[in-house]
Chain A
Amino acid sequence: MNKEDRKIVLELKDIHKSFGKNHVLKGFNLKLYEGENLVIMGKSGSGKSVMVKSIVGLIQPDSGSITIKDHDIITMGQEELDFLRTEIGFLFQGSALYDSMTVRENLEFPLRRHKDKVKNFEGTEKSVTQALESVGLLHAIDLMPAELSGGMMRRVALARALILKPEIIMYDEPTAGLDPITSNEIIQLMRTIQKEYNTSSLIITHDVDCARVISNRIILLVDGINYAEGTYDELSTSSDPQTRAFFKN
């Protein structure tokens, strides 16, 4: 399908953000089309997490505009923003499970206030077991996060991000710190979910394998701007050495 015909679900225009003298983002642009898997790659500390956090309103950019499904989130009121956030799933780099709650309570938490927004909602219990089943962790439902391994935590966090059946999912380094087998499982899980729910995904990763398998398109974030853009094959065979350096294994 031609790119231009597809709907844009998320657009970032000319985003700037500094922390004191540290200029992290210097005019970053991005368009996420409906149903696509867009991968963002960049060096550690290049501002990838800052960029996704500004998309969900956790960080206020200094300038620029962010629109999600034609709503400008920067000028949006709190209530409207909370409503829009239910349509976005967010997987944190460190999982960010609530460690005073069991796995079940972790998954129930987003449902407390936003049950009515879930399509075909069949009750809290059913939603929770379904989400856990889809990540293969139904047996861990009554465990505390402290009793889980890193990979299990990531999967529970993924289930939690999915529970409201969001249209857009953002993954901040979904495979970081996991062994190749577990990270492969997570990648396959992401693909299944993408197919099943037809979500648009923004994936931040260092992991070349992950990028190769999952991406429809890749943007390289270098020095605070979108340095290069293209498919995996285009970028990994690019004539620019700095671009190619990202794909050396």
Chain B
Amino acid sequence: MSKENSILKRSKSFFAEIGEMAYFAGRFFKEVFRKPFEFKELIRQCYNVGIRSLFLVVVTGFIIGLVFTLQSRPTLEEFGAVSWMPSMISVSIIREIGPVIIALICAGRIGSGIGAELGSMKVTEQIDAMEVSGTNPFKYLVVTRILAVTLMLPLLVIIGDAVALIGSAMVENLKGGVSYTLYFNMAFSSLSFSDIIPATVKTVLFGFAIGLVGTYKGYNCAKGTVGVGEASNSAVVYSSMLLFIIDFIAVFVSDIFF
């Protein structure tokens, strides 16, 4: 009985939270077009987001390309289809694996960072202080961060994809003797707009989701240091979950249109 109750309670608070987050997103769209714009802070946040995750994205991208190619080789060899390798790798990395894995990494890196930063600002009344000094903290802190992640994530994904392809090309070059020129020729010729456009739109949505969840969790952080930890933690959990939901919907939709 009490178990049922707690499940009911939990799912209720889960849906209430979704509603609040939607309201928060609505507020973002309302404020983002209204003056004054915080350009300087936006640039600073873009730089932060980019720099903080660039190294991680490059390393993971490289390893994904390397491992993916190494693991696929035996199977393709069995079917005598090794020459398909560049096409297969480029399509799967650019359409799906690159965006999802890099977005997940950024959810861990950027999402938790934003959650913790805004959370501790909330707890130590810095957000209140901002409001009292006549600056809209939603605009200064939330809008700039959501925009920064939305703009930078596609860029990071492009970099990650490129590095993954380089990693894959290195394996093909060493193991199969394929020249780099041939590899990239094949890789790019098998890509079409219908691969690239949905993937890019998806990464924009991923970025928005990471920024939204991180700022929402931080901005509504509960009092105390426990609250900050929780904000940072649940920012990662919720945004990772949201990424997969968006991915599912995006694949579904792009399947209809492309």
Interface residues of A (CB under 8 A from B): 53, 56-58, 78, 82-83, 85-86, 88, 90, 92-94, 96-100, 109-110, 112-114, 160, 164
Contacts and interface: CB of A to CB of B under 8 A. Distances in A.
A99 B127 CA distance: 11
Contact of B135 (A53, A93, A109): A109
B134 A113 contact: yes
B82 to A, nearest CB: 52
Contact of B132 (A56, A93, A94): A56
A96 B124 contact: yes
B124 A88 contact: no
B134 A82 contact: yes
Contacts of A78: 136
B126 A97 contact: yes
Given A58-B131, A88-B132, A90-B129, 9 more contacts: A82-B135, A92-B128, A93-B125, A96-B126, A96-B129, A98-B129, A109-B130, A110-B134, A114-B134
Contacts of B134: 82-83, 85-86, 110, 113-114
B36 interface: yes
Given A85-B132, A114-B134, A98 B36 contact: no
Main secondary structure of the interface of B (DSSP, over half): helix
A21 to B, nearest CB: 18
Nearest to A56: B132
B135 A96 contact: no
Given A99-B124, A113-B36, A92 B135 contact: no
Interface string B56-99: 00000000000000000000000000000000000000000000
23 contacts: A56-B132, A58-B131, A58-B132, A78-B136, A82-B135, A83-B134, A85-B132, A85-B133, A85-B134, A86-B133, A88-B132, A90-B132, A94-B125, A96-B124, A97-B126, A98-B126, A98-B129, A98-B130, A99-B126, A109-B135, A112-B135, A114-B133, A160-B133
Nearest to A172: B125
Interface residues of B, number: 16
Contacts of A92: 125, 128-129
Nearest to A101: B126
B69 to A, nearest CB: 42
A58 B128 contact: yes
Nearest to A112: B135
Nearest to A157: B129
Given A94-B124, A96-B124, A113 B135 contact: yes
The 4 closest A-B pairs by CB, nearest first: A110-B133, A96-B129, A96-B125, A82-B134
B137 to A, nearest CB: 11
Nearest to A83: B134
Contacts of B126: 96-99
Contact of A82 (B124, B125, B136): B136
A96 B133 contact: no
A185 B126 CA distance: 25
Contacts of B136: 78, 82
Contacts of A56: 132
Contacts of A88: 132
Nearest to B41: A112
A139 B134 CA distance: 27
Contacts of A99: 120, 124, 126
Contacts of A57: 131
B136 to A, nearest CB: 7
Contacts of A109: 130, 133, 135
A164 B133 CA distance: 9
Contacts of A112: 135
A58 B128 CA distance: 7
A164 B135 CA distance: 13
Interface string B210-229: 00000000000000000000
